[in-house]
Structure 1
Amino acid sequence: MDIKAEQLAQHLKKPMLPIYVVMGQEPLLVMEALDKLRQHARQAGIGERRVMHVDAQFNWAELIEANQSLSLFSDRLLLELNLERKPDKAGQDVLVEYATSPNPDNILLVNGEGLDRASLKTKWFKSFTANAGVINVWPVKRHELPRWLEQRARALKLSLTTDAAELLAERVDGNLLAARQELDKLALLAEGEVSAELVLESVVDHARFTVFDLTDAAHSGDLGRAQRILDSLRSEGVEPLMVQWALTREARLAMQIQTRLKDGESLDQACMSMRIMGPRQAPMKQAVQRVKPARWSAIMQLLQRTDAAVKGVDALDPWLLMGQVLLRWSMR
């Protein structure tokens, strides 16, 4: 059973399932989902919790033994399994066997840190979760972040102005743990409405980005955001070679899509052919429609010079060259 994170509280009004799996790429939301399940288990009379960490040395017999053992403090156990890596074949077999006849007195709570989207499609995972609750937490997208912050603020009896929500989103972009900390701090500093001025005075810049955030911003034509992400990547010590590689890859993909459009493919068909799907499609489509072929050629020339600078052949700063790349890429 797939359970959306925002629907978990409603789901827990019913008797708990024997197995829950929480997975995703947003640490805060994963942590909060796990905490809700633990709290509900306590309320249901489960008085003892045993935690197991699955690493390369983990012995899967520990799970079997823990499930069969008696609790010293209650009749029921909460067994927590932290998957720091994907289960090997032996682990998969144990998990599937566990799910076939779970101990009705126990709840198995799996933190699927080591799982990914591909794991959802495997035969063993489908068998293991046939009668389980699966909470798959997705990151909050940048355009959704102001509204997300406003909702969290209301739970703290705060009201963010539109400007405050936008500014706070900019400061904590990519780091929801920092977002929660800053909202908690604002709740101590203010009562009622929170202005942009208060956010400016009190909130530290916690934004964290990846090279893919950078290419999405460039594709979307948002030069200010793209330059800010580039500066952040530099300050965090990201290798310029990685950034140059990502920019070059995306520029080549855009040029290949434009070639396919000339050959008669639709934009949707061209994106699918190049395996550009999901949230990556919209920014790429914007870039393909906005940037003319001649400008892509100029961008590629700059990226070739950036590559030479990264390797020490060109004396210019590669980060400055990439800033020039973003300028040309983001132009309307």
Structure 2
Amino acid sequence: MKPRHLTAALAAASALLATPPTPAIADHHFREYVALGDSWSADVTVIGIDRTYAPTGCAQSSWNYPKQVAARLHVSAFRDATCGGATTADMTAPQNVPRVPLLADGVNPAQFDRLTRTTDLVTLGIGGNDVGLGTAVMGCLNPLPAPLGTPCRTRFTGPGGRDLMSQRIAAAKSKITGVIAGIRQRSPKARVLVVNYLAGVAVDRGCYPQVPIFDEDLTWLGARLRELNAMLATAAAESGAGFVDTYRGSVGHDVCQPPGKRWVEGVAPVLTERQGLGVPFHPNRLGADHQASTVLATLGS
């Protein structure tokens, strides 16, 4: 390379290095944000339920990650459709939810009803109820220690030793890709982010009797949770959607950790000023804070 060419190249390189990277969100101001999902997106709570966007029976917390993200982005329009117990079927059909006395609000409209042609940001946290992972957790509660109690994992073992929960997770991928396609059909200009599940359960340890699920069952549930997240990542990639990994940064904050360190509540939630009061086996306020910060980081904010 000739000296003058080398000088010019060095100058160009110096200019590039001197230019700070621009956050991905800086060139796009989101105006209309819609949040879709189940209880881990609603961040269900027993104190501080917000009825602004969904029926009381959905148990949306006033501090869930969609609300935190909407506030941080200063969107002019925000609709939070998330609801406890939701499945992919509830994206296009009304969902019956517990009716609270004196409040006639026992139905959450189809979550897709909140989408419009001008929606430009959508977060989606769904899939756990489709595969029955939450139901499995509650079914694995075992107050009787071994050998009096029976491990629940055997109920999910099919012929030839096949893991029935793993089969459900694999089969649910088409439902997730179908939901993403439905979002794009209704909101073609939207940036779609699939949000996965926090590391609520470890894969290498349990904590019986603090969480009365046999250690072998709790670690099995933790492994299935990782499988679910992997399936969500694959579905997002195949559909061209973004993916928000809340799992990786939450490892070490599972249900076996003490109050103030755990981001997902165990059998007996503890009320603290910073942690709030969540619902068993669901994110507490600390978990919601992590979800929100991870969504914002993914957007480049």
TM-score (norm 1): 0.24
Highest RCO, 1 vs 2 (Cα 8 Å, sep ≥ 6): 2
